[in-house]
């Protein structure tokens, strides 16, 4: 963080709001704005973008002017070990089927904890896959294949 930033939380939050507002403003240019009488699809979002950008600038300025505490304990390990397996689940559920997609996902997210131990994680995985199947597929009848085509299912 550059030295002129006194409150990194405010500075980054402000920046985030500005970036999001810019993204939406970029998407808004193609939409008809209309008039206050007959508002087009772009009118309401345009107002929101302007307000959000203004607030973002105010919050960011605050982050330069007023002293505040730094961001503590940000856990990359937790973040990546949780989010990537979830993406994996979405990407492979159709191909691998319920058992392998969920099993691998559950085992992988278990590594996010500092208390990870392969034996507990494996037992946990087997239990969760079994009960997941029991409740969601056998019980509630969700249309998810148990074994996908990649592992010899049909």
The residues in 18-57 that bind another protein, with binding defined as CB under 8 A, are 20-21, 24, 27-28, 31-32, 35-45, 48-49, 51-52, 55-56
- The C-alpha atoms of residue 77 and residue 88 are separated, in whole angstroms, by 17
Task: Give the Å distances, CA to CA, from 34 to 21, 29, 41.
Answer: 20, 12, 8
Give the phi and the psi of residue 39 in degrees, each rounded to 5. -75, 135
- Residue from 1, 19, 91, 151 touching another protein (CB under 8 A): that is 91
The reply to whether 110 sits near another protein by the rule CB under 8 A is yes
Cα 153 to its chain centre, rounded Å, is: 31
The distance of closest approach from Cβ of residue 95 to another protein in the complex, given in angstroms and rounded to an integer, is: 10
Count of residues of this chain found to bind another protein when the rule CB under 8 A is applied:
71
Rounded least distance, CB 70 to another protein, Å? 11
What's the chain's length in residues?
Answer: 154
130 binds another protein (CB under 8 A): no
């Amino acid at each position: 963080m550059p030295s002129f930033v006194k409150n990194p939380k405010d500075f980054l939050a402000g920046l985030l709001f500005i970036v999001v507002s810019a993204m939406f403003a970029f998407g808004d240019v193609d939409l008809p704005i209309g008039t206050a009488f007959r508002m087009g699809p772009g009118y309401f979002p345009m107002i929101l973008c302007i307000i959000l950008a203004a607030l973002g600038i105010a919050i960011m300025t605050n982050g330069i002017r007023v002293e505040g505490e730094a961001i503590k304990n940000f856990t990359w390990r937790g973040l990546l070990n949780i989010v990537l397996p979830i993406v994996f689940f979405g990407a492979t559920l159709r191909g691998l089927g319920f058992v392998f997609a969920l099993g691998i996902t559950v085992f992988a997210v278990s590594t996010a904890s500092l208390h990870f131990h392969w034996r507990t994680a494996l037992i946990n995985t087997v239990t969760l896959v079994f009960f997941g199947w029991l409740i969601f597929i056998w019980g509630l009848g969700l249309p998810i294949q148990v074994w996908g085509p990649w592992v010899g299912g049909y």
